[in-house]
Chains A and B, each alone.
Chain A
Amino acid sequence: EAQVTQNPRYLITVTGKKLTVTCSQNMNHEYMSWYRQDPGLGLRQIYYSMNVEVTDKGDVPEGYKVSRKEKRNFPLILESPSPNQTSLYFCASRRKGGERVKTGELFFGEGSRLTVL
């Protein structure tokens, strides 16, 4: 089954304690991205990756890091979490687009709800 898998699904942590949210996809997608969802703000992009070893900032990258060492994995790292990073996080992937490949459908994971105390 094609899917994007995130772990953990739920996490409560304390300020300053480093954490990693893992994301893995089994569709051989080149493009992967992290979003955070907050009430009244919709989904905002944190980071994205066009391919292995290629990452770039989205709209709200402050306080986050990512890496893309393998095509299937795209972990989100919070080096020193703060309460304003309490949110619902989504990982997503899709095929790389292009002139003749009109695909933009993002496949989403089920989300990781993070609470930072």
Chain B
Amino acid sequence: AQSVTQPDIHITVSEGASLELRCNYSYGATPYLFWYVQSPGQGLQLLLKYFSGDTLVQGIKGFEAEFKRSQSSFNLRKPSVHWSDAAEYFCAVGPSNFGNEKLTFGTGTRLTIIP
């Protein structure tokens, strides 16, 4: 069965500092991988996705993520965080054939930004 692990429940970083959020997945075939962000009181917004090709993917709001098959990881990074990045971040994995299967989400990482 597919699964996603986000080992960090809560991360605090200073504004302007770099950020890395960890995501490890378990899936038998080639996965589709996603990062979503949830701002307080809002739904989830897609930051970026990986289907195939270049393992370093760029997303919105200056985020990027790198797919490392050997480590089963898809970590999210940003070189310099802004106060508006404070939110909860979810990693998700999906099947490579979108038939009747679903996206499986991690438990999320809450990001706090300090001045």
Q: Does B27 contact A (CB under 8 A)?
A: no
Q: Does B34 contact A (CB under 8 A)?
A: yes
Provide the residues of chain A in CB contact with B106, threshold 8 Å: 42
Given known pairs A43-B90, A99-B97, A105-B34, the reply for A48 and B102 (CB within 8 Å) is yes
Contact B105 A110 (CB under 8 A): no
Please report the C-alpha to C-alpha distance between residue A58 and residue B49 in the assembled complex, in whole angstroms: 23
Q: Which of B43, B45, B90, B102 contacts A42 (CB 8 A)?
A: B90
Q: Which of A44, A56, A111 contacts B100 (CB 8 A)?
A: A56
Provide the residues of chain A in CB contact with B99, threshold 8 Å: 97
Q: Does B46 contact A (CB under 8 A)?
A: yes
Contact B43 A110 (CB under 8 A): yes
**Centre residue among A4, A96, A104, A108 by max chain B CB count within 10 A:** A104
Please report the C-alpha to C-alpha distance between residue A98 and residue B107 in the assembled complex, in whole angstroms: 27
Given known pairs A42-B106, A96-B98, A97-B98, the reply for A104 and B32 (CB within 8 Å) is yes
Contact B44 A40 (CB under 8 A): no
Q: Can you identify 14 A-B contacts, CB atoms within 8 angstroms?
A: A4-B43, A42-B4, A43-B105, A44-B105, A48-B102, A56-B100, A90-B43, A96-B98, A97-B97, A104-B51, A105-B34, A108-B44, A110-B42, A111-B42
